[in-house]
Each structure stands twice: as structure tokens, then as C-alpha cells.
Structure 1
């Protein structure tokens, strides 16, 4: 009852407090309330009644608890059965999923076979977009050689050397360009005419013929993953072809003042078997490319320190390279590719004549040629002043040379006479192969003359380049009867 009394007293106190501002209880009223509380405290029947009510509620609660326990027991039993059923299902599914270990290699093998089948299918090439101005004059001649990097995006980054020098005509133009991955257009990054008698340290409109060039994916010094394609020159330091006036290597963006002269005849062999070239001959330059830092690497002539060349300048390391052995050790410990630059002026790349097995410039429309640009059995035919150069820049951001095989078949023409005419027709087949021996693609192009009794051009060199990622490249037969400037993009499907 003490609890009841306390509760009632608290209620009264609150009532008194609330009424102080209006009609507070009189002393007599408060005495009556106090007396009532005392009587409640002494009332045994009320206490028993409350206990009885409490006991009755407890019985109800007990019944509810017993029912809840029964329901929970049933629910738990059902849940246990569900778990057992699910467990059995999982065991069955697990046994099925374990078969994926056997299925995955099979799927990979099927995918590889499909890729190989697609690559081995000889794809015809379709001309798309003109790259130059066609004309009957020799001033519209363009080279059929190329320095090409096939980017995994499908874009192709190229150097097209000049055909000759000392004119302001198309035949003297060197061009650094990108072909779109659909072959619809080109983007020219830099172009200039080539001269033997003019020299600009930072070329704007004049490139000295006595040098070689490349167009490479280079990073920034502080950002090795910020990669863009950059024009790179191997240059003399003046108007001269002498080895004594060789200047060195520099990136166009960084400028001539960043030029580095490699230590003469200090060389190493890259992972593909290609040896660098540092003999100071203006037609040949072979430079190491770091596949991790995406920069060129060379040993400085004056200090013997290793120089890393980025598109925004040089990083002069503290690594001293005194001789070939030290450079080779450094190369063996890293991931390097030797890049062979291409001479600034090439008429046609070299191939082997079927007729006499002699190697020479592929300049005849009538001869059949075969050969490769790349590395075969330890023999490198890539870039410099004789060959085209073909590389790929993979999904893993690695620069790798690829082998570009070719074989042509053509025939001589005969102009009209009493015996009639003979048209010269021909076709060329191309195969691209990775350094690991993987066939990347096969392509074919067939040409016929525009004029009766004449040739369809120099078919052996008609496919200047072709990107295995996008099947986009350049077609250029060099000339037809009284017509030059035939270069256009092409694509296979």
C-alpha cells in the first residue's frame, strides 16, 4: 500500500502546485484529502483486490507466454527444415559450380581459337578517305614507307617521310599524323618540308633531311601515366651531314635545348633482340624506350649519366653507365624496347625481288617482291633508311615491334600495238605477327590500271600500314598512268 499512497500523494502535490495560480486548495480541503489517503492505506480489501487483479493479469500473461513459446517452437522447427533444405540445395549447386573450373579453360580455348580463325582470314581492303591531293605532276609524289605505331584504341600514329627534298611541294613533305580508328579522317600533328640546305633548331617549316624521326607515346616527368604521342627528332646540330656535327635526340615539345647526345657506340640489346644504334650516322638512330616509365632512355655523351627523356623535358639520373656491359645489365633488369627511327627521306622501302633474290627499293610495278619489316631469325629489318617500321602499343601500355610480312604478284603491261594491249594487274598479301608468334591479322589488296595498256601502280608497297586492332591503314600504289598523290585510308571488315 505504500506504493499506492506515494502515488496518490504525488498526484495531490501536483494538483496543489497546478492550482496555486487559480483556486488553490484550502487548508481544510487539504486535510480531507490527507485523511482519505490514510484510509486508503489502511484498506486491506483494496490491497487484496489489486493483488487479485495483478494475479489475474499474470495468468493471462503466462498463457500468452506459453502460446508464444509453442508458436516459436513450431517456427523454429520450420526454419530448421528450411535451412536443411537450403543446405541440400547449396550442396547440389556447389557441385555444379565446381564444374566451372573445367569450363573456364574450355571457354578461353574456344575464344582463342575464334580469334586465331578471325586473324587467319584474309581480309580485303576498301579505300575510304583521300589523304593527299592527286595530280599528274611528279610534285605530288609521296613515299610508300612509314613509321607506324598501332595503338590498342584502334588509332594509328605515323611518320610519313618525304619523297625528296628542297621544294615546297608535296613530294618534299614529312608528316606526323594520326589515323582515326574508323578510317574516316586523319589528324596532322606536325608537317614540314624537308631541305638539305636549311636548318631550324626547333622546326617550324623546315626540317633538315640529314636526320631521322619517330612519333612515340611519351609521358610527363611527374606523371608516367599521362601518355600522349610526341614528335621526336634525331638531329644534326647544323646544316651538315657529318658525324662530327651530330646533335642528338630531342622531343619537339621540350625543344632543341633539351637535346641529348647519346654516348657514341655504347649499345645494348632489348628483350626482342634489337640492338640500339648510336653511331652518329644521320640515317640511323635506335633508342631505348622504357615500358614502365614511358620515356626514352640514353647515356649522355659528356657525363655517362643515364638520361630519361619525357615529352616535357629530361630527368638526369644519378646512374652512371660507363660501358656496354653496364647498360646491358640495366636493360636486362627492366622492360625496354629499342625504337628504330625512320630516315627523314625515303622513296620506297626495301624488299626482295623474286626474279633474282636481290634486296632493293621496291620501285617496280612489274616485279614481284616479298620480305618483312621486323625481326626474323635474329635479323632486324626495321626503320632507318631502308625499311618501314611497325610497332603496337598494347592494352598493357607496352610498346612492342611486330613483324609485317608481305608478298606481291604483278605483271608487266604492254601499250597498244598490232598485237593488242596488256594491262598490268597485281595483288599483295600482308600478314602481321606479334613477337610471341601470334598471328594478328591477314590482309589483301588487288589493283588494276585506270588506263588500258598501263600498270595499276606499285602493288608490293600499296599497303603502307594496317592496324590489327581496327583493321584501318593506308593504301598508296604511288602512281598510276600520269597520276600521283593516291594515298587514302583503308579498312577491312
Structure 2
């Protein structure tokens, strides 16, 4: 057997080597191959041995297959049992998960109650950053009236009117500000000094007293959701105070030449009950804002066509409005908010004085006041020359008015004398409410005199504004003993 194996091995090795080479097999080599094959074919014992080995391997293979089949069957039985057990467990857990459907309304109610409880808390406000220079001179006094838009980002956009006019001192400054959501300071978008004897179509350092303005989010003509804040002016057409000299409304970035004069006394009421104002009074202006297109909308005096005013220009539509009924129907079919502009010079807004039950400026250190800016029981107190105006711009990109309620209590001072000394102090609480009646936040501020025997400032209007998204606002008591220019950002916790 060994000789056969040797011969076969030599033959195979030679065959492989020569087949890989370039020389063919010689006659002698071919004879070797033939003899080796003959020996292999004629060797009966080799054949028997090969058959025996093959049969042995088949038996071994059969045994192995039988053993593998038994193991596989056992594993399958175990897997089936495991699946049955897991199925029972999953059915039990699924039944528990089904209970979550019934728990969801309860969880939502708990979250709503927690949120309302948090909102219902009266939060004290803390001053953060001064935004103007304090001084003894009344030239540094700054208004406590504002036109405010509370952006859902937490930023606040403000118009701060002047307190007086005809000078380049701080109390004559009209400001357009952005307050960041961290209350770190202010960004002045634009400011001018207010004059009754200087008119400019496009105000720079000076602006005509007889006008009003707003600071609102506006889209662009090609993309209404390309929104940025811009100043909008209502202005005279010349240095004259009468209604006959009223010019119209324009967006500051577009300039005076883009001005649109709304049709006089053609007004419509928005869904909140606020009516537009087109009497041509310089201190009494209100214009519609389209919440879908993010532009101002008005009927042109000359053509009776609806004009859309964006921050990058006007769109003159083909829609003609013949009368108030058509104008109201147009407004009712859309989604509009009336924007009430604020007059260029307002020292303090008005409120109800508790002692007299009459409406007065919030300008007395010892008086207690109450009131609101917004819409209540059909009465509108927003903007113009008497009131602040507060709006929010929601995450749904809707401009909505906000009710800003306030109530204050103040204690008068007594200067040092033989009768003793009393230091003045006061406290004001404000509440912000949506037009649907949702309480957005409540805030309080307490002030005490810094000079013995003197007052604590005009506390009733001290919280000029506060953003319900970020709880960042503006504090300003207007005046304390020998001190003006008290504005500083604030935060509630």
C-alpha cells in the first residue's frame, strides 16, 4: 500500500509541476503515469480499504446527524416554551400600558394645574442693568409709558416716548429699543429728539412732535414669514398740526415716499374688539395687522384699494373697498389685529386714582392708583397720548394684544421736623392676561425712599413692561428725590 501511495504521490507531484511548466511530459514520464494508474485500478485491497473508510465515515456522519437532530429538537422545544412564557409576560405588560391611555388626561390636568399654580404666584422683580444715566436734573427724566411687543423668543421691542420736547436733552428723546431675553442691557434701534418746530419726512436726530409710531414684526413681500422688527411712523405731511395736514403711515426702512394715507374715518374692528383709528388725529392712530401675511393693511384714500405694507415695500392689491360694511366683512374673513400707535411724547400713562375715582396721570408719589392697558368689557385703553400698549408675538407668529393690569399703594413722606420724619414707600402689582382670559404672569415691586424724609418715586407706573415669556422687563419710577433717569432692566424669578 505504501508503494502505491508513493507512486501516486510522485506521479501527482510530477504532473502538477510539469503542468505548471512549459515542457510537455516525456515518453518515460507518460509510461510512469500509465503504470501508476494501472496499479491503482488493479489493486483490490486498496478499493476495499477505500470503501471501508467511506462506510465508516458514513456511519459516523449518520450518528452525528442523529445527535444534531436530537439537540435541535430539544432546543426548538425550549425556544417554544420561552416564547410562550414571554408572550404571557408581554400580555400582562400590554394590559398595564393600556392604562396609560386613561392616565394621559389626568397627567395633562396635573401639568396644567402645576403651570397655573406657578403662574398664579406673584413674583417680585429684581433690577439688573441700568440703561440710562441718573442725574438730579429733570433733563434726564424718562417716560414710564411704552409701546411693547413681547416676542416669544423672550426679547422685548419697545417704543419709549419723550417726556417733553424742543431740546436735545434726554427727556426729549424718543427711543426704539430691543431688550434681550437675559436683561443684560438695551440695543437702541433708533432714537430722535422730539421737536414741535422741526419737521422731517425721514427723521434722523430730530422728529416732529405731532406723530405716533409702533415697533412691530413685519414680513417681506416675497416671503411673509421672513420676519424682522421695524419701526412704523404715522406722520403729518408738513410742519402743521391740523387733520388737514395729515400725511399717512410708512415703514421706516422704506422711507417717507412709501407712505400710504388711509381712507379717513373708514374703520373696522378686529376679533378682540379694537377698532382702527383713521380720524387723521396725530395722536390717535390705529392700523390693522395681518397675522397671515405679517404686514399692515389699510384702504388707500385716493384709490380705495387695499394696500399691504411690508418692511421691504408696499403691495397694491386689486381689492376695492367701497364702504365700512365691505371693510368690516374683509376683516371678519381674515385674521387681523389692530395695532394702536403711541404718541411721540407721553410723560406718564393714565390710571384711576383711588382717592378721587377719576382718571389721572400716574405722576404722584403719594397717590394710589389702579387700572389697565388693553381691552376690558368693551373699553379700549391702548396707545395714543394717554395709555401704554402691550402685545405679544406668539410662537404661532400671531400678534395679539395683552391686558396689563396694575394696582399700587403708596405712603407719603414727612420731611424731618419737630413732628418727626416719615420715609415714603410704595408697592405696585401687575398682572398680564391674554385676550382669552389666560393669566400670563403676576409681578410686584416695592420701593422705599433713599433719602430720609422723602418719597419713593412714582411707584404706580414703575413696572413699565415685563415679558411673560422671559420675565424680563423695565423698571422706572420716573422720579425720586433729586434723581431722574432711573430706568433699568429687571427680572422676576
Partner of 1:77: 77
- How has the CA–CA distance of structure 1 residues 127 and 64 changed in structure 2, closer, same or farther, with 3 Å as cutoff? same
Partner of 2:273: 273
RMSD (CA atoms): 2.7
Instruction: Give the match's secondary structure for 1:98.
Output: helix
Instruction: Give the match's secondary structure for 1:30.
Output: helix
Residue 344 (str. 1) matches residue 332 (str. 2): no
Range that drifts further, 196-205 or 304-313: 304-313
Residue 386 of structure 1 deviates from its aligned partner by 1.1
Residue 446 of structure 1 deviates from its aligned partner by 2.2
Matches within 5 A, 1:15-414: 17-21=19-23, 24-34=24-34, 37=37, 50=50, 53-414=53-414
Partner of 1:467: 467
Residue 36 of structure 1 deviates from its aligned partner by 5.0
Residue 146 of structure 1 deviates from its aligned partner by 0.5
Aligned residues: 484
Instruction: State the distance in 1 between where 2:15 and 2:224 align.
Output: 82
Instruction: State the distance in 2 between where 1:64 and 1:284 align.
Output: 101
Partner of 1:454: 454
Residue 258 of structure 1 deviates from its aligned partner by 2.4
- How has the CA–CA distance of structure 1 residues 250 and 62 changed in structure 2, closer, same or farther, with 3 Å as cutoff? farther
Instruction: Give the match's secondary structure for 1:226.
Output: coil
Instruction: Give the match's secondary structure for 2:112.
Output: helix
Partner of 1:5: none
Residue 437 of structure 1 deviates from its aligned partner by 1.1
Instruction: Give the match's secondary structure for 1:220.
Output: coil
Partner of 2:7: none
Range that drifts further, 362-371 or 88-97: 362-371
Kept after mapping to 2: 8 A contact 1:263/1:299: yes
Residue 455 of structure 1 deviates from its aligned partner by 2.3
Partner of 1:4: none
Residue 28 of structure 1 deviates from its aligned partner by 4.6
Instruction: Give the match's secondary structure for 1:104.
Output: helix
Instruction: State the distance in 2 between where 1:448 and 1:32 align.
Output: 124
Instruction: State the distance in 2 between where 1:270 and 1:77 align.
Output: 74
Instruction: State the distance in 2 between where 1:85 and 1:59 align.
Output: 39
Instruction: Give the match's secondary structure for 1:163.
Output: coil
Instruction: State the distance in 2 between where 1:336 and 1:66 align.
Output: 83
Instruction: Give the match's secondary structure for 2:225.
Output: strand
Instruction: State the distance in 2 between where 1:205 and 1:80 align.
Output: 86
Instruction: State the distance in 2 between where 1:53 and 1:258 align.
Output: 105
- How has the CA–CA distance of structure 1 residues 371 and 13 changed in structure 2, closer, same or farther, with 3 Å as cutoff? same
Residue 349 of structure 1 deviates from its aligned partner by 0.7
Range that drifts further, 36-45 or 328-337: 36-45
- How has the CA–CA distance of structure 1 residues 66 and 345 changed in structure 2, closer, same or farther, with 3 Å as cutoff? same
Instruction: State the distance in 2 between where 1:319 and 1:50 align.
Output: 104
Unaligned runs of 5+ in 1: 1-8
Q: Deviations over 1:50-87 (max 9, x none)?
A: 55544443333333322222222111111112211221
Instruction: State the distance in 2 between where 1:333 and 1:14 align.
Output: 95
- How has the CA–CA distance of structure 1 residues 81 and 171 changed in structure 2, closer, same or farther, with 3 Å as cutoff? same
Instruction: State the distance in 2 between where 1:188 and 1:68 align.
Output: 84
Instruction: State the distance in 2 between where 1:441 and 1:319 align.
Output: 41
Instruction: State the distance in 1 between where 2:366 and 2:350 align.
Output: 15
- How has the CA–CA distance of structure 1 residues 462 and 62 changed in structure 2, closer, same or farther, with 3 Å as cutoff? same
Residue 419 (str. 1) matches residue 440 (str. 2): no
Residue 49 of structure 1 deviates from its aligned partner by 5.7
- How has the CA–CA distance of structure 1 residues 17 and 322 changed in structure 2, closer, same or farther, with 3 Å as cutoff? farther
Residue 306 of structure 1 deviates from its aligned partner by 3.0
Instruction: State the distance in 2 between where 1:305 and 1:27 align.
Output: 113
Residue 160 of structure 1 deviates from its aligned partner by 0.4
Residue 389 of structure 1 deviates from its aligned partner by 0.6
Residue 138 of structure 1 deviates from its aligned partner by 2.0
Instruction: State the distance in 1 between where 2:389 and 2:163 align.
Output: 17
Instruction: State the distance in 1 between where 2:377 and 2:109 align.
Output: 29
TM-score if structure 2 supplies the norm length?
0.89
Kept after mapping to 2: 8 A contact 1:19/1:25: no
Instruction: Give the match's secondary structure for 2:82.
Output: helix
